[in-house]
Structure 1
């Protein structure tokens, strides 16, 4: 595979065959689990292959593997990278290989998510890991080109919203000390392994930054989206030991996460009418202060 074009489902299925050949794995019977930022395949031999959907990202892929290797030395329950030379550059698409913790996606209860994050935040990464500092608005700036998929009025609204949040973020006084963070912590990234133990997955966004970033999505999903019950959220707070909703900076981080979720979807809006309709709905609720409980998960 030598193309530099973004990956489709058809090209992903061809890519997994080539990716397996590079490290001596058998692709027979591979199952496409997800086609998002990565094409994720499960192989018969309890192995996960993740192929970057877009070209580039070798540095980030190498970071994910390095983080996994470090967490393994700490005995921390996270995704385990296979003992092969990786990442592999497949025509510009980064490929990584992982042990499959489970044959299905069963998500951990929020009490276990809170405990796992508390334990993660107690770790001190070695300097050799060279984790970047969290730069939340750099990510939004990188996605700004996707605004071209929207109606000009909606695009202008999101740009103004981002500028407002950028300014508001400068005044946020964080309550927790900075340190290593997952960067995209939510119940969807903590699965149960075959023995029913929680495992942290999707190590793409690991960085050094305010630990509140790892708490805000759970609070947001409870408070604004209604995806968690009050009892579930309280179990998370008790397990972690801090309620971000009682912290004055919470609304800024929650507003950022709403925009981030919407900007990611903007990238799909150009070729997916369902995504485009969802973006229009989200922008309207952001503009009017409407309920987020009608937002559809993607």
Structure 2
């Protein structure tokens, strides 16, 4: 077996882990292409018919196992979602876990806010599965996890963000939610809605599925419109009409919007020391959080393979 050196997690290390995983199940890694690098490294394999997700480390073990179970549960539901390959998985390589999925299409094409709203309505209508121990949704867990991996942050910025999360979490404990709790996606944005070969929207990235306040899944679209300007007024109106609730009118919206912004900063900080453009974007985002300046200058950032 190939040796996977070092403790850092980057595209090169993820590729070595994936190659070793492929050797255990006799899948050829030749022609592999990096799709994006975030909490997981995501690759295309087998002429883009298979998608592989390589997790950062042992702390993700439960998430990887649960994600496969959730995907197989959703396969028997009305919710169109990504499907894992019918093999025993996740695959463990050292401290890392690899999952393999059917590719929905040979090109990346994201869904619309209206399509996201439709998928969320369907997902939120489901009763939690009896045979899967879904965690309780925690809007701060992901940011804290990313913060632990955020090597690009200065110590003073790390302490600032950690203290901000603590203050938000204390206020969150006192919130009252108008919607009935249930199954939530946990990372509900249009970049986790993929169009399949027929142009139909499919829900992906299922490792954050949990049980909790449904408002959590409505905040990203609101923030993308209200604070960032990444969705137009028309797109957000279609999202609200498609779902049937405007989370911005709920008193807790501002708190959850603040929490999402911190998550977006810490997510970017995981790999920002590997990319100059990401480093500049990270510095800008941290400065606006510190000063309270407008977030309108934040640029959308996806860890796609750069030429």
TM range (shorter): over 0.9
Q: Per-residue deviation at 1:262? A: 1.1
TM-score, normalization: structure 2?
Answer: 0.90
Following superposition of structure 1 onto structure 2, how do residues 21-100 of structure 1 map, counting pairs within 5 Å? 21-44=23-46, 46-100=49-103
Q: Per-residue deviation at 1:295? A: 1.2
Tell me: higher relative CO, structure 1 or 2? Use CA pairs within 8 A at least 6 residues apart.
2
Q: Per-residue deviation at 1:269? A: 4.3
- Report what 1:193 is aligned to: 196
- Report what 1:257 is aligned to: 260
Aligned with residue 106 of structure 2, among 99, 103, 120? 103
Q: Does 1:266 align with 2:237?
A: no
In structure 1, what is the Cα distance between the partners aligned to 2:52 and 2:141? 28
Per-residue CA deviations over 1:135-192 (Å, capped at 9, x if unaligned) read 2334444444457753454344323322321222122111111111110000000011
In structure 2, what is the Cα distance between the partners aligned to 1:49 and 1:136? 26
Per-residue CA deviations over 1:27-54 (Å, capped at 9, x if unaligned) read 2222221222222121235111111133
In structure 1, what is the Cα distance between the partners aligned to 2:299 and 2:13? 28
Q: Does 1:248 align with 2:251?
A: yes
Structure with the higher helix share, 1 or 2: 1
Count of residues paired in the alignment = 298
Q: Per-residue deviation at 1:270? A: 4.8
TM-score, normalization: structure 1?
Answer: 0.92
5+ unaligned residues in a row in structure 2: which ranges?
A: 302-307
8 Å CA contact 2:44–2:50 kept in 1: the answer is yes
8 Å CA contact 1:68–1:78 kept in 2: the answer is yes
In structure 2, what is the Cα distance between the partners aligned to 1:252 and 1:258? 10
Structure-2 change in CA distance of 1:21 and 1:157 (3 Å): closer
8 Å CA contact 2:39–2:267 kept in 1: the answer is no
* Aligned-pair Cα RMSD in Å: 2.1
